[in-house]
Amino acid sequence: MSYEILKYSIQEKIGIIKIDRPSALNALNSQFFHEMNLLLDEIITGKDGENIRVLVITGEGKAFVAGADISEMKDMNSEQAREFSKTGQSTFRRLELLEIPVIAAINGFALGGGCELALACDIRVASSKAKFGQPEVNLGLIPGYGGTQRLPRIVGLGNALHILMTGDMISADEALRMGLVQKVTEPEQLMETVIQMANKIASRGPIAVKRVKSVARQGMLNTFEIGCALEKERFGDTFGNEGTEGMHAFLEKREPNW
């Protein structure tokens, strides 16, 4: 399937989504959400033609995503705005719940909805030139795609409220200090670094990787005891199949046959 805003390619077991609307700094509009949902459908159902193990999302030009499309939002009434928020929240939740790991390769501005998109990914790697922020209060608005909920869970309440209430941008290094991103690279090394990371994850036990993501994310929404109980069940599930193969391969000093 062809898309107007998204470019999708597959590199071995890695799916790569590039948001390609540089004239608008890749701002998120209704068309973006429509295309992203169609693409997620393809990935989830396997209709993309490949059994990809990791998904990478990045942007074209000097922005990852510089926010939601204000030109589309400016004349919305309250109900239309709630529907636009609901669409964004639903799309990003689908991305977050995708079985396979999702890495954001943040090449430039990740502001507003762009920061929220990055927050919905599992791992975030940033160019040293990247800038982050939730500037909605500068417009008399608040985040609408989960930013008020994910940001405190990732960087802590104080850091999140500082970002959310000032509307200020922060640097990649500051984002790294807060734990908003996991790694910062030079701009020309960003995609190489991310692809190396994605290939490393893809080389691990694919079922185990999916279960790690699922158990960790479910555990974050429950008590420690419930999370440990779920971990115990999924730990046991790995025996007799992929886990057994991995242990035998280790003892036999050979590569596992996933």
* Beta-sheet strand order (sheet of 63-65): 63-65, 109-111, 131-133, 170-171
CA distance 142 to 144: 6
136 an active-site residue?
A: yes
- Of 79, 136, 242, 245, the active-site residue reads 136
Contact 8, 66 (CB under 8 A): no
Which ranges in the chain belong to alpha helices (H)?
Answer: 30-45, 70-73, 78-97, 113-119, 147-155, 157-166, 172-178, 190-203, 206-220, 224-237, 242-251
- Of 83, 116, 188, 252, the active-site residue reads 116
4 an active-site residue?
A: no
CA distance 222 to 120: 18
Would you please indicate which residues are annotated as catalytic (active-site) residues?
116, 136
